Amino acid sequence: MSAAAVSPGLRLWGAYVRWSARQPVLASLVPFVPVLVLWAAVVQSGIFPRVFLPGPIEVVEKFGTLMANGILPAYLEDSVVRLAAGTAVGLAIGIPLGLLVGLSDRAYRVLWPVLLFFQAIGDIAWLPILLIWFGFGLTTMIFVIVYTVLFPVVLNTVLGVRSVPLELHRAALSLGASRARVLWEVVLPGALPNIMTGLRNGLGFGWRALIAAEIIVGTSGIGFLMFDARRAGSVVEILLGMAVLGVLWYVVDSWVLAPIERATGQRWGLVTR
């Protein structure tokens, strides 16, 4: 009896796995094909009027128009710059604060309950008072993003700092490291996988918060584009905005976050794949 024959289906799957290993970028688009096909089929069936549910072709056409007249690139830039600025400030405050709370028992006792309290007051819940304080503008939006990014970063940094084994501190000290060097050489890299988790959550929440803020206070940006389209009754633009949100997040995740995680925590065996 020879080896059992491989079924044609399995063989096809094998070919797909080998192809996707060679073409990871193209392969990552494949799962969206059924989604698009389903969408187009629903539109084509005529269950919903076209004004309520335009098809993928119309959305792509709209994408072309808005790219050509410069509105989409400008709005996209506004949203991304706001998110990047807010995230940078959130990290700049969150990581040092997390290190302090993670390393000092006193800071932990004093600050941890306060952090939990303010974490509970969600980003959007701040909007009413921020609008009174700062008005409809960039300050309000950046505040919301910083606030949203800050807490996941702080809380995860604290967890990361506390997860570094005591022996690693001791090993560094007995090899001649000063307390400051221990912070840089042991605590930060040890906490990095958790800081990355915090950043990932923070960016995800921050992105949602930004869209919400743009809907309420915006004069530009993807959130504004979608809300403005609602006023004009343009479902195509709303769908386009939704697609842009999804694509942008996918790009940030697979081009920025995932490579960092592969190069750090996964490489060091601190995070299992």
Partner 1 sequence: MKSLTIDHLQKTYFDPFADKQVTAIRDISLSVAAGDFVSVVGPSGCGKTTLLNLIAGFLAPTAGEIRVDGRAVNGPGPDRGVVFQSFALFPWRTVLDNVAFGPKMRGVAKARRHEIAREYLALAGLGHAAERYPNELSGGMQQRVGVVRALANEPDVLLMDEPFASVDAQTRMTLQEELTRIWAQRRSTVLFITHDVNEAVFLANRVIVLSHGAVLDDIAIDLPRPRAWDALIEDAGFKALSARVLQQVRAA
| Residues binding partner 1 (CB under 8 A) | 165, 167-168, 170-178, 181, 185-186, 189-190, 192, 264, 267-270
Half-sphere exposure of 256 (CA within 13 A, CB side): 12
In angstroms, the CA 198 to CA 192 distance is 10
For the bound state, the minimum distance from the C-beta of residue 176 to partner 1, rounded and expressed in Å, comes to: 3
Q: How far is CA 75 from the centre of its chain?
A: 18
In angstroms, the CA 89 to CA 180 distance is 23
In angstroms, the CA 157 to CA 202 distance is 12
Closer residue to partner 1, CB minimum distance, 189 or 204? 189
For the bound state, the minimum distance from the C-beta of residue 252 to partner 1, rounded and expressed in Å, comes to: 24
In angstroms, the CA 154 to CA 91 distance is 8
Angle between helices 235-252 and 188-217 (to 10 degrees): 170
Closer residue to partner 1, CB minimum distance, 33 or 175? 175
For the bound state, the minimum distance from the C-beta of residue 132 to partner 1, rounded and expressed in Å, comes to: 46
Residue partners of 148: CB distance under 8 A and separation at least 6 = 86, 90, 123, 202, 205, 206, 209
Closer residue to partner 1, CB minimum distance, 71 or 177? 177
Give yes or no for a contact between 157 and 94, defined as CB atoms under 8 angstroms apart. yes
For the bound state, the minimum distance from the C-beta of residue 106 to partner 1, rounded and expressed in Å, comes to: 17
For the bound state, the minimum distance from the C-beta of residue 165 to partner 1, rounded and expressed in Å, comes to: 7
Closer residue to partner 1, CB minimum distance, 27 or 177? 177
Closer residue to partner 1, CB minimum distance, 65 or 264? 264
Closer residue to partner 1, CB minimum distance, 173 or 248? 173
- Give 63-72's long-range contacts (Cβ < 8 A, gap of 24+): 63/240, 66/237, 66/240, 71/225, 72/225, 72/240, 72/244
Residue whose structure tokens are 């009754």: 233
In angstroms, the CA 168 to CA 42 distance is 58
For the bound state, the minimum distance from the C-beta of residue 156 to partner 1, rounded and expressed in Å, comes to: 17
For the bound state, the minimum distance from the C-beta of residue 187 to partner 1, rounded and expressed in Å, comes to: 11
Closer residue to partner 1, CB minimum distance, 4 or 167? 167
